[in-house]
Structure 1
């Protein structure tokens, strides 16, 4: 079996943690139980931890041959060992160098995958650069920052495979980006520092869905939140939702905690870091390389997790119940690409609405929440278009 991990002896604890997460993932269980991926080869490039391990196992149980890889900073060695003990191929170790991470990804791509599930589109872009696209029916991308370069490639005519925009599914971004990343990033920063948020100034750079979540959770814990933006409608929305909005450089001197939630490189520059007061803490929520310029951090300013995604690199990631939704989207995306990918254009495609809605309905059912049904008169009104 194609495998390279740090320590296979860690499997017992990893299996316990995976089983714990599975208890709170009823939607993934329901979705995966209906899939038939017999004979298919699926590559997973996701933060390697107990929740995502359940996706790997669900796809394996549906008949797929699964290969998992992950950058070192997002690899949990216990989880990697547990997956290997379950017969899943894993190329990931927490002590890998960037060169090893790239080699792991190339080794996975050389397995002639049917579908690739990516995070940040790092491996999709590598597959294009290395010419390793043969047999690949398509890819699924789960992040805003990952879809951005793929859409640029599509516009330039450089994208060679269909990509499902998993991130743009409502059952993903309305919950994972806002409530999942919002909660986990704020809590990770507080756990790592031991600081109290109540009564302090928290600056959130970027008011997309992730930034909205971070701002809301920080305010709920008593912080005075300042939002910074480059996009006028996002800034206006933050203002109408009760947040102070200012330029980032103006807000930095007051900040006790600064979150970058843009997914854009060079958001927090050396100039911004230099404007911060001693004791200020900086964290990245979501994130891309160099979102915070960490090369010359002033004394007294702390950048958490070396500027990597703080909830994944230094904590446990998003809540289990939230990931139940996101990973269910991924499972259905894999099935859709296996069935329809060969006939789809080389472009970034939305997740089919009926699949997205199916996940929302399954989650409501698992929560015991009922829905009203439109009456005949209401349906007639809607059909007339009046």
Structure 2
């Protein structure tokens, strides 16, 4: 198929929203796209992208195409596609998209297959489904691949497991590990968009609630910070002792999920792991507890266990499913356990995605120039790219910073001078 979207008549609305997001993405729009138009660093390169189909992603796709690439896009989550954006990319920007919000699992993987059928030379992942499908089902395509990029913590975890086992057959740049990505996108983007998703789905008051955050990585830090800022009493659960201490010193209560389950009004998982909230936790939750996930996959909450426990299930609001337990307690699952910030809201604000997608674009350019000399492994974003993105962002914000004097440079590079 040439493309597969819900409805092309939504394209004008999508175009307006893409342009609105573009206004808040000056690094990608001006600093990178304008250079790409002139230099065409991706000329002749086919890029297969499995990303959340949002307004911000649309502007990344436009930049890659302006750089000379042939771009094909599918969704990285069945509920994260913005159908009007998908339609606009097809109709106004001539970028083939295979994504429909709410698609079933069979359609989801059919769309991944469509992208892989274009024989991409560079892959772009948001969770590593494109790369894993390529490695498991299409080994014949591997010699054609220069390298890939990965946007998420979950995807990087999967890729490092592939590399450790020897399964990874080409180099991948972990865009998620860039300082200009996880320090800002994961923390401020996930923090704001997760709260946004919960509020849109439930219209519940955050202030005065007990808000349980499972995981205190950069995403968990952001969610906890924003929940606290809205007046919630925040509890953090962790398995890492260092992160647990950090959460406590940041002012949050820290305890095992078995204890937090008795207290929480709202639960949000952001760990990247499986079954963080399980049957034994559901059994302890109060009537009316709200459970959601802002980690990448819908496995952090043990939904099969909740299905088995429930005597009745009904959808009470868009993105809110009520599970009634034998004793009459009700537990509310948001967005089918998928990313609540993208399923029930619009994902991260454009301003923070500006840096993340600047890293994606420059990493793709780096792979075209250097990928054939890299061994199959997971690589961090080169420091010069990370710093360049930060510099461009500051410049776009009209912010100037100091420079080291020659004396300071000499001091930092010497060892003779003491107290």
So what's the TM-score if we normalise by structure 1?
A: 0.97
The residue that corresponds to 1:340 in the other structure is 370
Q: What are the Cα deviations for residues 295-352 of structure 1, in whole angstroms up to 9, with x where unaligned?
A: 2255211111010010011110001100111111111111111111111110001100
Residue 47 (structure 1) shift: 0.6
Asked whether the 8 Å contact 1:181–1:286 carries over to 2, the reply is: no
Match of 1:150 in 2: 159
Q: What secondary structure is seen at the aligned counterpart in 2 of 1:34?
A: helix
- Which stretch of the first structure deviates more once superposed, 374-383 or 175-184? 374-383
Partner residue in 2 for 1:180 = 189
Larger CA deviation: 269-278 vs 314-323: 269-278
Question: Which of 377, 394, 406 is equivalent to 1:364?
Answer: 394
8 Å CA contact retained: 1:266, 1:290: yes
Partner of 1:314: 344
Asked if 2 retains the 8 angstrom alpha-carbon contact of 1:253 and 1:276, the reply is: yes
1:349 to 361, 364, 379: 379
Q: For residues 296-307 of structure 1, what are the structure 2 equivalents within 5 Å?
A: 296=306, 298-299=323-324, 300-307=330-337
Deviation digits for residues 145-192 of structure 1, max 9, x if unmatched? 111111111111111010001000000000000010011101211221
CA distance in 2, matches of 1:91, 1:182: 28
Q: Aligned residue for 2:310?
A: none
Query: Structure 1: how far apart are the matches of 2:262 and 2:380?
Result: 41
| Selected match of 1:55 from 57, 60, 72 | 60
Instruction: Tell me the secondary structure at the aligned position of residue 133 of structure 1.
Output: helix
In structure 1, the residue matched to 2:21 is 21
Q: Secondary structure at the match of 1:72?
A: coil
Matched, 1:3 2:3: yes
Normalising by structure 2, what TM-score?
0.90
4+ runs deviating over 4 angstroms: none
Does 2:361 correspond to 1:331? yes
Deviation at 1:294, TM superposition (A): 1.6
CA offset at residue 270 of structure 1?
Answer: 1.8
Unpaired stretches in structure 2, ≥5 consecutive residues: 308-322, 325-329
Structure 1 gaps, min length 5: none
Q: CA deviation at 1:96?
A: 2.6
The one of 87, 97, 116 equivalent to 2:104 is 97
Contact 1:33/1:62 (<8 A) preserved: no
Q: Is the 8 A contact 1:165 1:351 kept in 2?
A: yes
1:95 Cα deviation from its structure 2 partner:
4.3
After TM superposition, the structure 1 stretch with the greater mean CA deviation from structure 2, 95-104 or 54-63, is: 95-104
CA shift, 1:34, in A, is 2.1
1:216 corresponding residue in structure 2: 225
Q: Is the 8 A contact 2:268 2:291 kept in 1?
A: yes
CA distance in 1: counterparts of 2:57 and 2:356, whole angstroms: 10
Residue pair 2:150, 2:172 contacting (<8 A) in 1 also: yes
1:114 to 110, 116, 121: 121
2:54 and 2:81 in contact (8 A); partners too: yes
Is structure 2 residue 304 aligned with structure 1 residue 274? Answer: no
CA distance in structure 1 between the aligned counterparts of 2:216 and 2:103, rounded to whole angstroms: 34
User: Residues of 2 paired with 1:188 and 1:75: CA distance?
Assistant: 14
Aligned residue for 1:146, secondary structure, equals helix
What does the per-residue CA deviation read over 1:96-140, in whole Å, with 9 as the maximum and x for residues that have no partner?
321121111112112111111100001100000012323110110
Aligned partner of 1:380 among 389, 407, 410 = 410
C-alpha contact 1:287 1:308 (8 A) present in aligned 2: yes
Q: 2:200, 2:344 within 8 Å by CA — same for their partners in 1?
A: no
Q: What corresponds to 2:237 in structure 1?
A: 228
Separation in 1, partners of 2:159, 2:336: 26
Contact 2:197 2:343 in 1 (8 A): no
Give distance in 2, aligned partners of 1:78 and 1:363: 28
Aligned pair 1:239/2:248, yes or no? yes
State how far apart, in whole Å, the 2-side matches of 1:231 and 1:165 are: 22
Q: Among 53, 62, 65, which residue is 2:70 paired with? A: 65
Report the Cα offset of residue 239 of structure 1.
Answer: 1.1
Distance 2:12 2:143 in 1: 37
Q: Report how far residue 16 of structure 1 moved.
A: 0.5
When the two structures are aligned, how many residues end up with a matched partner? 386
Give yes or no for the alignment of 1:76 onto 2:77: no
